[in-house]
Amino acid sequence: MSLPKQRDPQGPYRVVVVCLGNICRSPMAEKVLRADLERAGLGDRVEVTSSGTGDWHVGGAMDPRAASTLRVHGYFTEHTARQFRPSDLEQADLVLAMDLDNHDEVSTAVVEDGPDHGFDPSRLRLFRSFAPGTGPNPEVPDPYYGGDDGFTAVLNMIEAAAKGLTDELDRDLGPED
């Protein structure tokens, strides 16, 4: 799968990860992807943010179970939840939804607000579509209403997708000049 071209070749490649409340899946994906990009030497060339389609948790911290799961696996956990805004489309090179419902929410924003923001709908993908061998369901399920084991399962899915995306970004962006 090829990545959309960088909108501003002089700036960083901008990735926005989106879930429902921005307290579980998307901040976990943001932290894991940032760590992978740093290890690959791309940390200063790719900017990763996250947001939620809902506004319930704006300004709040990451879910404690998500933060604990990340911490146990060596990832940073500092986070303040924010809501996805159609204006995010103006600068995003790639918007990654964690599931089909949030993909649809962002698609609606693209249709309603896209022409004003110049967003190409092909820049919207499912995050897990970058994981090798994902199979027929490329969604990352919401662990919010389950137990701790759900957060571990989600982290495993996120790590696989983040590695796949990092590999593609490394190939597409090439070595620094």
Mean predicted confidence (pLDDT) in 161-165? 98
CB atoms under 10 Å from CB of 159, counted, come to 19
pLDDT in tens, 39-54: 999 999 999 999 999 9
Q: In what order do the strands lie in the sheet with 13-19?
A: 46-52, 13-19, 94-97, 124-126
* From 14, 25, 123, 125, active-site residue: 25
142 catalytic per annotation: yes
* From 36, 63, 88, 142, active-site residue: 142
In this structure, what DSSP letter does residue 118 have? Answer: T
pLDDT at res. 116: 54
* From 14, 19, 34, 99, active-site residue: 19
Query: Which phi and psi (to 5°) does residue 97 adopt?
Result: -85, 145
For residues 114 and 109, what is the distance between their CA atoms, to the nearest angstrom?
Answer: 7
Residue 117 has pLDDT above 60, yes or no: no
